[in-house]
A = this chain, B = another copy of it.
Amino acid sequence: MPRVLVVEDEAGIATAVRRGLIAEGFTVDIADNGVDGLWRVTENEYDAVVLDIMLPQLSGYEVLRQMRAANVWAPVLMLTAKDGEYDVADALDLGADDYLTKPFSFVVLMARLRAMMRRVQRERPAVLMAGDLELDPARRQCVRGTVEIKLTAREFAVLEYLMRYHDEVVSRSEILAHVWDENFEGDPNIVDVYVGRLRRKVDTPFKRQAIETVRGVGYRLHGTGG
């Protein structure tokens, strides 16, 4: 699940964008001022940042400059008001990857975000593969061999995370933080439950199970041999 930070002080825009992005399968954090935005972006790993220029406390320019200085290179899409008070060129010079003028349509935002992430993150393939398992985040579809496997939203998210880090061991807390929320406060056993459900759905009989339990540490999804 791609993770996006939205730094925007106008609550209306922020929530609208948030809702839309979530519907599109993103995980979304919101910061309503520059300082908070800068803090979040340096503390977490985002796949993209939507950054308003006009912000309280710290302008979008400054946030961008300081995050680049701090060696954070997540792709940034700047939001600018259409009155040319702030110059877009400056933002691009500072290392923004794209920009959008308010008011914008949500569809355009999505297209730009996707294009930007595709462009910037070449290491992320459109389709995740592991053995004969195939997972297509855009189509929200999971296939083993030729048969489609139906997954719920959560199952999909957990599997996606495991596949993204296939052959590596990922801990429960890591999964919780990424698939649920950094401060999820429920029973961590939920991860076990979902891994169990996934196994029943994606494992093939007579084959080694795809998701291995690494006792005391977490889980590992095997990249080859199913």
Contact = CB atoms under 8 A, between A and B. Distances in A.
17 contacts: A24-B217, A82-B89, A92-B105, A93-B105, A97-B111, A98-B108, A98-B111, A107-B119, A107-B178, A107-B182, A110-B119, A111-B115, A115-B115, A139-B169, A152-B215, A152-B216, A153-B215
Interface of A: 19-20, 23-25, 82, 84, 88-89, 92-93, 97-99, 101, 103-108, 110-112, 114-116, 119, 138-140, 152-153, 167-169, 171-174, 177-178, 182, 214-218, 220
Given A153-B217, A218-B23, A89 B103 contact: yes
Please tell me how many copies of the chain the complex holds.
2
A17 to B, nearest CB: 11
Contacts of A169: 138-140
A76 to B, nearest CB: 12
Given A152-B215, A153-B217, 4 more contacts: A20-B171, A97-B107, A111-B112, A153-B216
